[in-house]
Amino acid sequence: MPWTKTQLNESIKKIIGDRLLIIASNREPYIHTYKEGKVEYIRPIGGAVTALDPVMRVTKGTWVAYGSGNADKDVVDKKNEVKVPPENPKYKLRRIWLSKDEENGYYYGYSNKAMWPLCHMAYTRPAFDDVDWAYYKIVNQKFADTILDIVKDQKAFVWIQDYHLLLLSKLLKEKNKNLITAHFLHIPWPNPEAFRICPQKNEILEGLLSNNLLGFHIRYHCSNFMETVKLEMEARIDTERTSVVYGGHETLVRAFPISVDFAEISEQAESKEVKSAMKKLRHEFSIENDVFIMVGLDRIDYTKGIVEKIRAVDRFFEKFPEYKGKVTFIQKGGLSRMHIPEYKELNDTLNRLVEEVNWKHSTEKWYPILLIRRHMSRTGIIALYKMANACLVSPLHDGMNLVCKEFIATKNDLNGVLILSQFTGAARELDDAIFVNPYDRENFAIMLKEAVELPDSKKKKRMKRLRSVVKENNIYKWAGKFLEELKKI
């Protein structure tokens, strides 16, 4: 039987007991903004938020994050806290404020010019800047001070998320040794040869080895981390316990494939709101019912393989022109990190490429590619999945990728095909996807044809097995298994 909210809640009570549960991440789960003079909120796209919000609704803890919305300061109390979700509050969100210099150095600088390209094999050179590193340390200290203020003399478990806060555990333990800390990396961990170029490698590894538990998506990333520590640090590697002992402190290293709330997404996919949103989308884009729809949902990032995806679609229509007017590709692309030149250039390339492909293949009433820039509600995104016949998930390198699992969860009617990059963590679990190498444009185009022509019987068998995997290995199992490892501490 799949894990449930109730089962997770019971597990948390047994494992954490009376300890306060705190999640720390750069990105907040809800952003408050002004629209036409009124305060509204949006739920950001991203693996960490998608996965952890349902967990926090069950645990009723405190989430500490950077407040980035232009209305964020106006909705918090004197402690900089607000209860979320706004429509049905379940837990506290404690916001941290950053100056523009801090945001630029810590987030746009060290986090995303250095660590992000270092950990992703997408052939973008990392940029290590001393000023960025200084701000990275300052902001990590801000998070530590805020969490220590929340905890005071209480017992607490602090669950740290991702690559923005690699120093946090050490900073916390220096002031409060009784804290239990765990860190989950939502991105890949590179091989030792790649990581050794980092000038701040020792400080980063010391920060991570201050945790009681360190989690990655797949065993390969765990192995890379253990090998990195073996080469760079005077530490003892315990292969039987899969742990590292450094400075007399043991850190367990484990793989936890992250997932989604399968049951909730499946239920929402059948709602009246989603069905209404599907009709509106078809009307907006003038898509007939007999058109085969392929979708992609990605943050605009060079690791996501969006350019390669569009070139594969272009090649598909070159090789198989009989599908013009019969197949449409919809790409939802969320803008991010536009202060970084590589991201701005990618966005410009994307605009130019879509225009070129559409000009080449379009007819009077049909465009091969529809690019959606605007923010879409959760209902709109599920409607997009639900109306799609196929989902294209083709990162050049990705820790897991939850888009593919969300797509699968919406397919109650089994009418869908998953086209998945072999370079995602999800590829280790989802055997019934059609796999592609995003660097191989020719084969990618052929696999698109295979997806379009896949007989209904095979399509349904594949999707049924995919749904079984995601249903069994849902977000509550991920969180539960992670927390159960704390029993060994």
Domain ranges of the chain: 5-258+475-488, 262-471
The domain 5-258+475-488 is classified under which CATH number: 3.90.550.10, 3.40.50.2000, 3.30.465.10, 2.40.50.140? 3.40.50.2000
Position 47 scores a pLDDT of 60
Question: pLDDT tens-digit profile of 142-178?
Answer: 999 999 999 999 999 999 999 999 999 999 999 999 9
Average pLDDT over residues 246-267: 95
Q: What per-residue string of b and e applies to 299-318 under the rule 16 or more CB within 10 Å gives b?
A: bbbbbbbbbbbbbbbbbbbe
Average pLDDT over residues 412-440: 97
Position 164 scores a pLDDT of 98
User: Average pLDDT over the chain, rounded to whole?
Assistant: 94
Average pLDDT over residues 292-310: 96
Q: How confident is the model at residue 54 (pLDDT cuts 50, 70, 90)?
A: confident
Average pLDDT over residues 30-48: 85
Residue 13 dihedral angles phi and psi, to the nearest 5°:
-60, -40
Architecture of domain 262-471: 3-Layer(aba) Sandwich (3.40)
Q: Are 93 and 28 in contact (CB under 8 A)?
A: yes
Task: Classify residue 50 as exposed, middle or buried by CB count within 10 Å of its CB (0-12, 13-18, 19+).
Answer: buried
Please tell me which residue, 295 or 59, carries the higher pLDDT value: 295
Q: How confident is the model at residue 51 (pLDDT cuts 50, 70, 90)?
A: confident
Rounded to whole angstroms, the Cα distance separating 385 from 406 reads: 8
Residue 387 has pLDDT above 70, yes or no: yes
Position 59 scores a pLDDT of 80
Question: pLDDT tens-digit profile of 208-255?
Answer: 999 999 999 999 999 999 999 999 999 999 999 999 999 999 999 999
Residue 11 has pLDDT above 90, yes or no: no
Rounded to whole angstroms, the Cα distance separating 223 from 79 reads: 41
Rounded to whole angstroms, the Cα distance separating 183 from 399 reads: 15
Q: How confident is the model at residue 56 (pLDDT cuts 50, 70, 90)?
A: confident
Find the distance separating the first CA and the last CA of the chain, reported in whole Å.
Answer: 27
Residue 124 has pLDDT above 80, yes or no: yes
Position 397 scores a pLDDT of 96
Position 1 scores a pLDDT of 79
Percent of residues, the chain, with pLDDT higher than 70: 99
Q: Which residue has the tokens 């693996």?
A: 47
Residue 284 has pLDDT above 80, yes or no: yes
Average pLDDT over residues 396-413: 96
CB proximity list for 69: less than 8 A, separation 6 or greater: 28, 31, 32, 33, 41, 42
Average pLDDT over residues 4-10: 85
Rounded to whole angstroms, the Cα distance separating 38 from 322 reads: 49
CB atoms inside a 10 Å sphere around CB 39 = 15
Q: How confident is the model at residue 46 (pLDDT cuts 50, 70, 90)?
A: low
Upstream peptide bond of 85 is cis (omega within 30 degrees of 0): yes
Average pLDDT over residues 428-448: 98
Percent of residues, the chain, with pLDDT higher than 90: 84
